[in-house]
Amino acid sequence: HLWRSGRRADIGLVDFAYLKPPRRLRVTIPGLLEHLRLIGCFDDGSVEFMSRVVEDSGMGDETYFPPALHYLPPSATHADAVQEAGMLFFPTLDELFAKTGVPPSAVGALVVNCSGFGPAPSLTAIIANRYRMRADVKIFNLSGMGCSAGSISVDVAAGLLRAHAMSYAVVVSAEILTVGWYCGKDRGKLLLNCNFRTG
């Protein structure tokens, strides 16, 4: 999301972009259920529970997993998660900057929220370096907040636009699934495997 501050401290959405992952990363419901059975880290009760949740969720055959979760067993390394972040962020931000005509150098604030992955260098640093944003860009990483982080990020960006002499702020909301995959029996945590997808 690209936000702009107006003359009278009015703040408005300029435009937004979202990711449509490559077709090769698609996971159909039958494919997912087979994957859950073949992974080898779930007992029969856990597979049965996840199968019921997935089938009852209304999720269709047009959802996506990051590359690392297509492996048997899934790969959950730091490098895989950083690769997933780039796969999510860069095409989406390329589209946003192209649609708006706003160059990355005009961005005064960058706010990224991702609940389960907080690498070093930070996600904001990865983005700011990739797009050669100016040296004084205000960057904020929000993590561990769950679904509320998206609206909190917008509020942080709005506060920055009001408090500083800048025209644009970018808010990036994502989840990195590679490091959030759960292998175990706790049904509350198994829901994460069922409900989160790439994009």
Distance of alpha carbon 119 from alpha carbon 128, whole angstroms: 14
- The answer, yes or no, to whether residue 138 has pLDDT greater than 90, is yes
* pTM for this entry: 0.89
| Other C-beta atoms lying within 10 Å of the C-beta of residue 69 | 26
Yes or no: say if 158 and 13 are a contact pair by the CB < 8 Å rule: no
What pLDDT score does 6 carry? 61
What distances in angstroms separate CA 30 from CA 14, 56, 61, 74, 125, one per listed residue? 40, 13, 8, 17, 38
Yes or no: say if 176 and 36 are a contact pair by the CB < 8 Å rule: no
Q: Which two tokens stand for residue 166?
A: 């800048």
Yes or no: say if 174 and 84 are a contact pair by the CB < 8 Å rule: no
Closest CA to 114 of 66, 29, 172, 72: 172
Q: Quick: pLDDT tens for 23-33.
A: 999 999 999 98
Q: Quick: pLDDT tens for 37-52.
A: 998 889 999 999 999 9
Q: Quick: pLDDT tens for 67-103.
A: 999 998 888 899 999 999 999 999 999 999 999 999 9
The answer for residues whose C-beta is within 8 angstroms of residue 95's C-beta and 6 or more apart is 17
Query: Strands, DSSP E only, in the chain?
Result: 2-5, 11-15, 26-27, 63-64, 107-113, 138-142, 168-173
